[in-house]
Structure 1
Amino acid sequence: MSGAEDPVLFHTTGRAARITLNRPRALNALTHTMVRRIDEALSAWERDPAVETVVITGAGERGLCAGGDIRAIHDDARDGDGSASRAFWRDEYRLNARIARYPKPYLAVMDGIVMGGGVGVSAHGSVRVVTERSRVAMPETGIGFVPDVGGTHLLARAPGELGTHLALTGAQTGAADALLCGLADHYVPSASLERLLDSLAELPVNEALAGVVRTPPRGVLADQRDWIDACYAADTVEEIVHRLLAHGDPAAKEAAETLLAKSPTALKVTLASLRRARALGSLDRVLDQEYRVSCAALGTPDLVEGIRAQVVDKDRRPRWSPKTLAEVTDADVERFFTPAGRPEPGLAAPSEAAAEDAW
């Protein structure tokens, strides 16, 4: 059991163990302490024969989790040496990998806002439930960062170029689009969530879901596949923007304008990360790559500036450096993927890691 003020709560009812992210005023943003406690609970439940299902939900009315505690990352990058952020990411990414291979059903209730680190603790689970309130996104390019927590792995596997569109623009997906992109498995109306959670105490997951799963309201991405696939298949961000502006569809033009407001460096590194993630294949190898990229981002001006503009000062007017896509060189991008000589999560097997280093 947990105290009501704890940032993450744990309890068991019947056959189901429950994780509740409990920072509702911060939209349940993940801290290092929360990551460690979740990992400890998963270890205990893995060995407990009485626990047959693990469920993760978020406290409050707004959503599961808006991501990691980026204010702390901002302060560490600006005023510290980055060691706190690196330690957080190392443990967070290991947790993401653990969730993906957890031997018992891990059911994530992706109700409301699910972004960044929230995707990491939910979309790698074996049973992922969205509702009509779900807003799933990886919005990192807007803060001068790159999708992490296995996000580039998930988005690289989405149909066509849908994942490229979502990763570069940071666009939010509703239930149907999350299902289409492989970020979720089932649609359950939010009014039926309590019934689902109660049923899990007594029933196997499939039986509990059977009574509440429905067909979601229609999404938007299926109808946009033509221009998304045609435009985002380009080899460079500059060419993607050119194709979007030239296409003629108003939604394509809007996507181009969205991209042009993001960090140019983050856009180029994100595109490279996605393309490499497709070739790397396994989640473990992609998480190791993301760790390199995230640590490299700590030393760039755009991460601190992006968080300042969006979260700290909230003026929504980031001053990116470099300012334009043309100023970001291939060498600038490659530096994000170069091993820095510091300990990495080491999730990939040695043979896999060697293949990654050969990139």
Structure 2
Amino acid sequence: MSDVLLRTRGHAAHITLNRPEALNSLTHEMVLRIDEALSEWEHDPAVGTVVLTGAGERGLCAGGDIRAIHDDARDGDGAASAGFWRDEYRLNARIARYPKPYVAVMDGIVMGGGVGVSAHGSVRVVTERSRIAMPETGIGFVPDVGGTYLLALAPGELGTRLALTGAPIGATDALLCGLADHYMPSDSLRSFVDDLAELPVHEALGRHVQDPPPEESAARRDWIDRCFSADTVEDIVQRLLAQEDPAAKETAGTLLGKSPTALKVTLRALRRARRLGPLERVLDQEYRVSCACLRGPDLVEGIRAQVIDKDRNPRWTPATLAEVGDAEVDRFFTPLGESELRLAAGSDTTEEVVW
């Protein structure tokens, strides 16, 4: 059976990610199949809405197939991973500019590449089961798939915290951070998706959307903004350790367990994303950074520790924040010459979805 299930019902076209045994993690072939379907439906007058869901009970999508990336970075030349990211990031940009409503059902776990195929959509639905994260620094990588674009737009320094710590958030914080638009109980999803076959999106939403639970981060906003506004990761850690709230000190410990190089590159990428403008420019930057990660030791080591051997004891190189200098961080932003992604050069960033 296909890893991507496609069907139409009424005027809604459905994409179902169908690798439940791998929490619907994305392969290159899946990315290409989704893009092909979007091309077909974009010009089909019978399709008014596209709906994205995930098979199984655990969630929409846990991200990209990082085992394949591990093997390519360790044993190959990185070309397969670079090719995957090139098509994946193009798909992310396409979703963001799609001319028809793109409804992403972000129920359960949504991480990494799963955020890329959902949070750029024009209609993003979360539930009480939603757990959304960009956990890349824990595997020696950096938030990609437009993640630094999305998190740079979050209020205050909430996005900086999520990018550096990889901490998962629920529905209410996802709404607060701009990663989602609507909340409804998970037991309403089937009826909501059924309604999309015949109803305009706003009418279907009106039948099922409810007020979300109370805000989760409100009590911590002061120290989150104060600490994560620092200019360096070292200063962020020191500010966190100086807070009275035990959660702040716990957050400092979380950061100290991540890849020091990935932390510093992520902070630089996020701050630069705030100035770059449209999504396509940020994706071009992320592509440079991602390709550079293939040439360093931490990506292979991080995936080994978290996914392959599962010893949860990565040996980062360099091992401390102090050992990661500016020149090492600069390397991740070096232009790729003929290998650049160049999404910004060929994009029309003025179009908005109206529905």
Corresponding residue for residue 351 of structure 2: none
- Structure 2: gaps (5+ residues): 349-355
Which residue of structure 1 aligns with residue 94 of structure 2? 98
Counterpart selection for 2:37 from 36, 41, 44: 41
> 1:335 Cα shift?
0.3
CA contact (8 A) 2:280 2:347 kept: no
TM-superposed deviation, 1:222: 2.0
Closer/same/farther in 2, CA of residues 295 and 18 from structure 1, 3 Å limit: same
Indicate the residue corresponding to 2:208 in structure 1. 212
Alignment equivalent of 2:188, drawn from 188, 192, 201: 192
State the AA in 1 paired with 2:72.
Answer: D
Pairwise mapping of residues 262-301 of structure 1 onto structure 2 (< 5 A)?
262-301=258-297
Aligned mate of 2:156, from 142, 155, 160: 160
**Could you tell me which residue of structure 2 aligns to residue 329 of structure 1?**
325
Q: Which runs of 4+ in 1 moved over 4 A?
A: none
AA of the residue aligned to 1:244: L
**Root mean square deviation of aligned Cα:** 1.1
2:110 alignment partner, SS class: strand
Conserved 8 A contact 1:174-1:219: no
* Identical amino acids, percent of aligned pairs: 78
Q: TM-score, normalised by structure 1?
A: 0.96
Partner Cα distance (1:145, 1:342) in 2: 23
- Say which of 30, 33, 58 aligns to 2:54: 58
Structure 1 residues 157-184: Cα deviation after superposition (integer angstroms, max 9, x where no partner): 0000000000000010100000000000
Q: Secondary structure, in 3 states, of the residue corresponding to 2:312?
A: coil
Amino acid at match of 2:246: P
* Residue 274 of structure 1, CA deviation: 0.3
Partner residue, 1:236: 232
Question: Equivalent residue for 1:311?
Answer: 307
Q: Does the CA contact (< 8 Å) of 1:176 and 1:216 recur in 2? A: yes
Q: 1:175·1:219 contact (CA, 8 Å) conserved in 2?
A: no
Question: Which residue is equivalent to 2:353?
Answer: none
Q: Which amino acid aligns with 1:250?
A: P
Task: Tell me what 1:16 maps to.
Answer: 12
AA aligned to 1:331 is A
* CA distance in structure 1 between the partners assigned to 2:76 and 2:31 by the alignment: 21
Amino acid at match of 2:285: Q
CA positional deviation for 1:349 = 2.4
Question: Structure 1 residues 106, 350: CA separation in 2 closer, same or farther (over 3 Å shift)?
Answer: closer
In the alignment, structure 1 segments of 5+ residues that lack a partner are 353-359
Matched, 1:78 2:74: yes
Alignment of 1:124 with 2:152, yes or no, is: no
SS of the residue aligned with 2:199?
A: coil
The CA deviation at 1:291 is 0.1
CA deviation map 1:89-119 (0-9, x unaligned): 0000000000000000000000000000000
Which residue identity does 2:334 align to in structure 1? T
